[in-house]
Structure 1
Amino acid sequence: MRNNLIFNAKRKLIPDVINQALVDYNVWKNTSEENELQNVPPESSNTLALEKYDSIDDIITQTNTLSCFVDGSWTSPTNNAGIGWTLFNTDGRIILEGKAAIEPVNSPLDAEAEALRMAVVQMRKLGYHIVTFYGDSSEIYDTLSNSHQASPSSIKGNHCPTYMKDIVNLAKESNYCFGFQKVKRTCNGVADKLAKEGRITNSGYVVRWKNNV
């Protein structure tokens, strides 16, 4: 299917195809509703001072956009890493979550940068135009939070500057309003768990809509 949200190599049975179509429809409907509700750009990190908060709920109540929490999982430069992200609406309800194992990278910083790049790409594919991305890496999120103007070359790691350049390029288009905020690690437990699951189970890229209503 063109909008394939759950990736696997198995032949889909007819009930699976029907279920996939329902998921795609619900994601499209949810995306349209959320975009209609949003007309305000993300607030700056200086305004929100998010690092004083200790939970996801605390952060979501202080923001005016969809919130995407992102993390990577890494053990060594020779083993697959993992990525995970979770998208919340302004009521604190999970809309979507994604996880995957990725090819080995040189450092935890590289894994987190790739996790963020994949999350940004997915938000664009699904048509979410106003999103704030959160993570616990100061080197990544403090660099990106200043209106996407920081130089990616200031980030350490062989692959990370390329990832950062991709993120900046994806976020700076005029029809998207993406913000980036550093948060405490204690606020990023959901994405961290997904990233570890993706790595440990050697998962393909799974993006799942959460029907919590």
Structure 2
Amino acid sequence: MRNFSNYPIKLVTLHIIHENCWSRYYLNDDLVKILDLIPYMEKNLLRVFAITSEKGYKTIEKLKFDGKIKEIFNVYRNGNGIFVDLARDFDSSVLSIINKNNGIVLNTAKYEGMEIWNILIYEHKINRMLKELDEIAQIEKIKISDHIPLTNTLSDNELKILSIAYENGYFDYPRKIKSGELANLLGISQSTLIYYLRNAERKIIGQFLRKSRMEQTDE
């Protein structure tokens, strides 16, 4: 039988003010949600794929004009949001430190000069990561908790149908598309659509409630 390691993985949530980053100057209260981060270390470039509001994008555009953002490669409207493909230097980025310590970024966002990071990292690497982050950023808040993967993940069909429903305004108020129209768009019956949507909603709500209970227990 394979021996188990003594290296537990932890979920680390950080609220930081990153002095050497465009986020420090993003003082808008509209959230910038980071969809993906891709480093090009040979070019010292960190490519950032983000989505925000129109108001948020205007602030980002001004930061590019002021030289706080290295480059904006592409911008387009995605539903009610604005997708932005931008770049900054990879050196002294938060991601460079997370990568160096073998961490995994689950998600990150920017608002009002603050960055929020949710990271998976081995417990014995946390102190070193925090020490290195402290050299480039002001750490405002840290929360370390056990990482318990949530079960009942969405099936491929549930994820696909939920995503298309969301993109077409099914969850907007008032709804931009009715269930019958959405079913026709997907090429399935209305009853099948409702079945998949309810299953997906049940799983997501269950995950949210379990996570909330765990967070309350930690506090």
TM-score (norm 1): 0.24
Using CA pairs below 8 Å that are at least 6 residues apart, which structure has the higher relative contact order?
A: 1
Structure of larger gyration radius: 2
More strand by proportion, 1 or 2?
Answer: 2
